[in-house]
Amino acid sequence: MKLPGHVASVVTDARLVEERRGQILRAAVKLFSDNGYYTTTISQIAREAGVSTGLIYQYFGDKDDILFLSLKLVLETYEKEIPPRLEGVKHPVERLCMALWAYCTIVDRLREATVLAYRSTKSLRADRRALVKEDESRTNRLLQACVRACIAGGYMHPVNEYLLVYQYVAFCHAWALKHWALRARFNLGKYVAEGIGLLVEPLLTAKGRTALAAMRRRTADFTREAKPPARSRRARRSSAH
Amino acid sequence: MKLPGHVASVVTDARLVEERRGQILRAAVKLFSDNGYYTTTISQIAREAGVSTGLIYQYFGDKDDILFLSLKLVLETYEKEIPPRLEGVKHPVERLCMALWAYCTIVDRLREATVLAYRSTKSLRADRRALVKEDESRTNRLLQACVRACIAGGYMHPVNEYLLVYQYVAFCHAWALKHWALRARFNLGKYVAEGIGLLVEPLLTAKGRTALAAMRRRTADFTREAKPPARSRRARRSSAH
Amino acid sequence: MKLPGHVASVVTDARLVEERRGQILRAAVKLFSDNGYYTTTISQIAREAGVSTGLIYQYFGDKDDILFLSLKLVLETYEKEIPPRLEGVKHPVERLCMALWAYCTIVDRLREATVLAYRSTKSLRADRRALVKEDESRTNRLLQACVRACIAGGYMHPVNEYLLVYQYVAFCHAWALKHWALRARFNLGKYVAEGIGLLVEPLLTAKGRTALAAMRRRTADFTREAKPPARSRRARRSSAH
Amino acid sequence: MKLPGHVASVVTDARLVEERRGQILRAAVKLFSDNGYYTTTISQIAREAGVSTGLIYQYFGDKDDILFLSLKLVLETYEKEIPPRLEGVKHPVERLCMALWAYCTIVDRLREATVLAYRSTKSLRADRRALVKEDESRTNRLLQACVRACIAGGYMHPVNEYLLVYQYVAFCHAWALKHWALRARFNLGKYVAEGIGLLVEPLLTAKGRTALAAMRRRTADFTREAKPPARSRRARRSSAH
DNA sequence: AATGAATGAGTGTTCATTCAT
DNA sequence: TATGAATGAACACTCATTCAT
């Protein structure tokens, strides 16, 4: 009786399991993202990860296990990387905007992997699909807290916050899903800035708009820049704080 | 030198090609939607369509052809079914709302197929992917015309209409993509009504809001109903005209 | 209980059977020669012959029937076309040389078909293989008669005439089988002339050599010419008689 | 950009590749020889070789690869086995006769495979066909050297040595190709002896004939014997030297 | 723990043959 | 008689998975 979330490993040394799985999953995410789940073979993953095919079966029960942990890896990235980006941001409106901005930059970095999540979640065994969806829901709750704080603070008109969050998520994911169309018209900064204009600003109260305007004055940078390489952006961001 | 959009058939009788392809594609869309492209076998499609495996290759060159025409079938449904639903609707705000409502009802009817489009477009041969995207773009342009009319008529504040359309599309597709989560809280009518409250209303001018309110009074029905079976909905619609 | 040499036809009108079979066999010989038996499909044959696939099965029982009659057609060509070329040629040595020359010109015309016979005889049902070999043997006997006459007339030293005939056949067939190599060094006339120098002349008695020399003086033409197109060669031949 | 002569293997261990390929090719040559290329299935080859079908694809890229190496195996056998049989044979006339004898014994041993080469070379991908023909040409050159030495030594009248070699090759191959007819009248020894009488002796000078007669006196054995099994023949030969 | 050779069930695709019209 | 749509058995080839070393 296997638990759906459990992935068995023949190897017992926990540190080694951690390390090898990471090594294999990085290869898998890359290949799945580029070529899809079904067209990626175990031996391609092995080659990309620099191990033998046999070794993979020491750390994963079957191919579905690899997909499962690959998707978790991606979804957990969202969940883990957004909160630190909100640290020190106090104002609810600013937190909401920063959350969207953070989410979008992560999507941008994991663009192919985000598409993968849409393509391949249904390829998972059904019981595990639910687990992956929970991961996604947890990320949504991060946004939901931001929205709620805006409304609670009187910065945003009361709205169906649940639906709004889904719209925000759709907005962030669209950067990956519709990148083929959007990239012709936007860079990432412009995309987020315009998105805020469309999905945040119209919902704000007068008080909220004032806050947004203030924030814009301070962080004008990311709305104008051409999309820079990931590395320099990360560097700039840390120096800015 | 094959054109990417062309699918060859051994059979020459155009009527028969039309009919058989339809028969096979209906089976394929169903199976692809339920089980995905790669896990659906040609012989499953044949069985579902009530023909032999060999026959399929009289009407399609290979499995990719079937996927291509399946996706086209789905995307063309959007493109073809929205315009008739807008006939007779004059007011720009009302047209926009009706377009969203129409789009969402089609997505609802083709829920699995819509998910299929997200899952499997990347499984297409690259040259054909572009053609499918064009189909999608054409549907977007239907929405874009509605948005533009609203702005031109002074019913909506000037916004980035291109991005807004993508938000609308994301909203409609989300009904299929996130149905697992949304169905717990919304029925289709409520979903659309709330979506309009979130994505249309806040962007309207005073004049636009008046129009929206008027419309709501007249068509209050669809915002309250439980999701009805497709047949009765269609019946109601025609009687309403 | 089918007789091996019998090919059944659904159609009863003998004249029609004759005509249709000829039409189909010409197409089959061409395609089998170019592409081989197994890689040629019935529908290719049908297309080449300008009929439907179904029609082929009105005149042949199965694909093996087509191959069988195709090979017979080719082998009977040898058997039928050599004798008229010997008409009026009286001298045994001259008859032998003319037979070789005739055989080689036919091989040259049916080059691909000759290769086909080597490739595909073994693809025939075993009982029919024997029939085809009999056809070949009958052609051999034409040569054998020539050799025998030479020996009987004291023009050729007594030799194993049976083996010699096989050598002659091998020589003629080699023009097709090894054409890829021979064509770089010989045209057909030179090939035959040199072959006679190698396989006939050394076996002749003094008397025989005198005859050969005389013949050469008269028919010097074909030993020097560049290989002419089939049409002009045929024309010249008839005008020479 | 694949080189036509290269056959890729998934397995890297050279010794293993050598061994497995040999094992599979032996099975393939047997089955191709008996049943032809197209009617032999991969799984028949696998069964005959005692391996799984999958394994075959670890050592060959596709079925064409197997045919290619099968034909090479056969043609290289000629090329490799003739020279050792000439070792220690000094006299040009004797070398020529020994070469013919050696060639014919190899053909006799590989009778079916020799027929295979004629049947199936055209089934090869065109670029590889040329490589196989080169193998054949190399064997021809072995004979050509023998002929040339005879002429240079004044043992044979000057003739078109290129054509003569082709005639010798045709003679040797005929033992396989026309075995169905020849076996009724000849055993291998008699076939070669008579062949020499027909294709070598008449071309010799007086000096050459003396040498041939001398040789015949010494090695009279092989012209009379019934066809002995390959093994004892080889044994006798070495003891005779 | 790690390798990679070996397995064989499963897939897309072809094509000789049939048969309703 | 002639058509060509329909069939389905058969094949080449793939790849997740196992296991001896």
DSSP string over B162-206: HHHHHHHHHHHHHHHHTHHHHTTT--HHHHHHHHHHHHTGGGB-H
Residue nearest to nucleotide F6 (CA to C1'): B55
Residues of C in contact with D194 (CB under 8 A): 160, 163
- Nearest CB to A160 within list B119, B198, B202: B198
Distance of CA A116 to the CA centre of its chain: 12
- Under a CB-based contact definition with an 8 Å cutoff, are residues D97 and D213 in contact? no
Instruction: Tell which strand E nucleotides have any atom below 7 Å from a protein Cβ.
Output: 1-20
Cα A19–chain centre separation: 22
Select from B131, B114, B45 the least CA-distant residue to B77: B114
pLDDT mean values, one per 10 residues, chain A (241 residues): 82 94 97 96 98 98 97 95 94 97 96 95 93 94 97 97 97 96 96 97 97 88 46 39 34
The shortest CB-CB distance from A122 to any of B119, B157, B195 is to B119
Average pLDDT over residues B129-154: 96
For chain F, which bases have at least one atom within 7 A of a protein Cβ?
A: 1-20
- pLDDT at B93 exceeding the cut of 60: yes
| pLDDT at A222 (0 to 100) | 53
Segment C120-136, tens digit of pLDDT? 999 999 899 999 999 99
Question: Is residue B98 a contact partner of residue B181, using CB atoms and an 8 Å limit?
Answer: no
pLDDT per residue as tens digits for the range B119-128:
999 999 989 9
Tell me the one-letter amino acid at A13: D
Alpha-carbon separation of residue A162 from A102, A240, B181, B191, D200 (angstroms): 20, 33, 10, 11, 100
- Residue B177 makes CB contacts below 8 A (sequence gap 6+) with A118, B114, B115, B118
Scored b (16 or more CB within 10 A) or e, A56-90 reads: bbebbeebebbbbbbbbbbbebbbebbeebbeebe
Grouping H, G, I as helix, E, B as strand and the rest as coil, residue D150 is helix
Which residue in the set D122, D171, D195 is minimally distant from C36, CB to CB?
Answer: D122
Tell whether pTM > 0.95: no
Evaluate whether C171 touches C100 at the Cβ level (below 8 Å).
Answer: yes
Among candidates D222, D220, D216, which has minimal Cα distance to D188? D222
Average pLDDT over residues D205-218: 94
Q: Quote the pLDDT of residue C222.
A: 53
Q: If residue A4 lies in a helix (H) or strand (E), which one and from where to where?
A: none
Other Cβ atoms within 10 Å of C18 Cβ, number: 11
Mean pLDDT, chain B, integer: 91
Chain D span 99-158 residues with beta carbon within 7 Å of strand F = none
Residue B166 to residues A113, A179, A223, Cα–Cα distance (Å): 21, 11, 19
Q: Which two tokens stand for residue C129?
A: 């293989």
Residue A86 region by backbone torsions, left for phi larger than 0, else alpha for psi between -120 and 50, else beta: alpha
- Which amino acid belongs to residue B130? A
Which residues of chain A lie closer than 8 angstroms to B151, CB-CB?
A: none
**Taking CA atoms, what residue in D is nearest to C34?**
D122
Residues D192 and D171: beta-carbon distance below 8 Å: no
* Closest residue, by C-alpha, to the C1' of E19: C54
Max CA pair span of chain A: 62
Per residue in D179-194, pLDDT (tens digit) is: 999 999 999 999 999 9
Burial state string for A112-134 with b = 16 or more CB within 10 A and e = fewer than 16: bbbbbbbbbbbbbeeebbebbee
Strand partners, C204: C156
- C and A touching (3 or more beta-carbon pairs closer than 8 Å): no
Under 8 Å between Cβ of D43 and D105: no
CA distances from C184 to A193, C94, C109, D163 (A): 75, 28, 18, 12
What confidence tens digit (pLDDT) does each residue in A91-116 have? 999 999 999 999 999 999 999 999 99
Structure tokens at D125: 């991908």
Q: Which two tokens stand for residue C11?
A: 């159609």
| Closest partner CB to A185 (pick from B122, B137, B162) | B162
The answer, yes or no, to whether residue B140 has pLDDT greater than 50, is yes
Q: Is the pLDDT of residue C2 over 70?
A: no
How far does D133 lie from chain C, in Å, by closest CA? 9
At C32, phi and psi to the nearest 5?
A: -60, -40
Residue C12: pLDDT above 50? yes
**Residue D68 — pLDDT band, cuts 50, 70, 90?**
very high
pLDDT tens-place string over residues C191-240: 999 999 999 999 999 999 999 999 998 876 555 444 444 444 434 444 33
In chain C, % of residues over pLDDT 70: 90
Look up residue C111 and give its two tokens.
């080059």
pLDDT of residue D241 exceeding 50, the answer is: no
How many angstroms separate the CA of residue B238 from the nearest CA in chain A?
30
Arithmetic mean of pLDDT, D78-96: 96
Chain D residues in contact with C174 (beta carbon < 8 A): 166-167, 170
In Å, the largest CA–CA distance within chain D is 62
What is the per-residue pLDDT across D126-180, written as a single tens digit (0 to 9) for each?
999 999 999 999 999 999 999 999 999 999 999 999 999 999 999 999 999 999 9
With a 7 Å cutoff on the CB, does B21 touch strand F? no
- pLDDT, average across residues C70-92: 95
Which residues, 6+ apart, have CB-to-CB distance to C204 below 8 Å?
C93, C150, C155, C156, C157, C211, C212
Query: Residues B28-80: pLDDT tens digits?
Result: 999 999 999 999 999 999 999 999 999 999 999 999 999 999 999 999 999 99
C119 and D120 within 8 Å at the Cβ level: the answer is yes
> CA D62 – C1' F13 distance (Å)?
8
Residue carrying the six token digits 């806040």: B202
Distance D51 CA to E10 C1' (A): 18
pLDDT beyond 60 at D229: no
- CA pair distance A124, D124, nearest whole angstrom: 44
Q: How far does B184 lie from chain A, in Å, by closest CA? A: 11
List the alpha helices (DSSP H) in C5-125: 14-35, 42-49, 53-59, 63-86, 92-109, 111-120
Please determine, for residue C171, whether its predicted confidence score (pLDDT) is greater than 50.
yes
Taking the C1' atom of every nucleotide in all shown strands and the CA of A53, the nearest one is E4
